[in-house]
Amino acid sequence: MLQRLINSRAVNAVGLGCMNLSHAYGHPPSEKDASRLLLQALEVGVDHFDTAALYGFGANEKLLGKVLKPYRQQIFLASKCGMRGVDGKRVIDGRPQTLRATIEQSLTSLQTDVLDLYYLHRWDKSVPIEESVGELSRMVDEGKIKAIGLSEVSASTLRKAHQEHPIAALQTEYSLWTRNAEISVLDTCKELGCAFVAFSPLGRGFLTGKVADASTLVDGDIRKGMPRFQHDNVQQNQRLLAVLNEMASQLHCTAGQVSLAWLLHQGKHVLPIPGTTNVAHLQENMAASLIRLSAAQLQELNSAFAPQNISGDRYPPATQAEIDTEDY
């Protein structure tokens, strides 16, 4: 399998984002089914697992700890702090004392002594980035984490943090229909030697062609409140799928595989972490690293999915205000 580096460690280029096993997209699978999927992920070659304190308000970390503990030395395990569930609500809190409490809980839940990578899930804008990263650097010194990551931050914030302590990875949304990373942060990661971990690389399911508009989604699915999944925007965006589907037909693969292959062609430091609850989709995702796209095919996709052709913001205003990424 194609491999990429995070903090000088080689992992398979396509990892597994574990959020939807416990969180965000409506009714998560049962613990039995989620556990089965994690074990099957190991079987098909996944060795990079990504979770967070927020996911399932702690349930996701506990799930991974229970299932993956026997395989701990074989996998690259990443989690996140700075955003968690408090009294049933999502809270962003980057104060050092909060990050300290979160790492202790994460290590307990994940049944490990050290994490390979620990992200600041969101930059708490009331706390200087240097202060939050400074606390994470002390965790590195103490052997609780091996490397520091950031999520949903701009190139300028990445540079500030990197001066405080080397940042091994930056994670943000990146896909054919979310190209904000190309404004600056993708190149900044390459310059600084940071891995770029792309979450929602399949456009939260949209690029697979299997997700319609918000009205078809179940209660509790966060996409119901996202502008791009509202009916008028979906109608506009679905027209872009024709190019993707035609290319998939030519290559004898799925639209999702073309989308992941496109990402893998955007730089050797790019590692997508698609999430799924479906074993067949898991196998498809892992096989995407075998697909090679020509320069002409890449250009065709770039043109079809140019930012000006995408209808609707990726987040509603309140959520957009919480993040620090550049925007078109």
User: Tell me: the pLDDT tens digits for 271-304?
Assistant: 999 999 999 999 999 999 999 999 999 999 999 9
Of the candidates 100, 46, 30, the one whose C-alpha atom is nearest the C-alpha of residue 78 is 46
Token match 């590195």: residue?
140
What is d(CA 283, CA 264) in angstroms, rounded to the nearest whole number? 17
| CA–CA distance, 112 with 277 (Å, rounded to integer) | 24
| Distance (Å, whole) CA 232 – CA 312 | 9
- The H or E element spanning position 6 is strand 3-6
Q: Of the ranges 138-142, 209-213, 229-233, which one carries the lowest mean pLDDT score? A: 209-213
* Rounded Cα gap, residues 93 and 53, in angstroms: 12
- The whole model's pTM is what? 0.97
Average pLDDT of the residues in 145-160: 98
pLDDT mean across residues, the chain: 96
Class of domain 3-205+263-292: alpha beta
Largest CA distance in the chain: 54
> What is residue 104's predicted lDDT score, i.e. its pLDDT?
98
Q: Distances in Å between the alpha carbon of 275 and those of 17, 18, 101?
A: 4, 6, 27
Q: Answer whether residue 26 shows pLDDT above 90.
A: no
Helix (H, G, I), strand (E, B) or coil at 96: helix
Name the residues annotated as catalytic.
Answer: 55
Label residue 24 by pLDDT band (50, 70, 90).
confident
**Which neighbouring-strand residues pair with 199?**
173
pLDDT band of 92, cuts 50, 70, 90: very high
> Where in the chain are the domains?
3-205+263-292
Q: How confident is the model over 314-328, as a mean pLDDT?
A: 95
Percentage above 70 pLDDT, the chain = 100
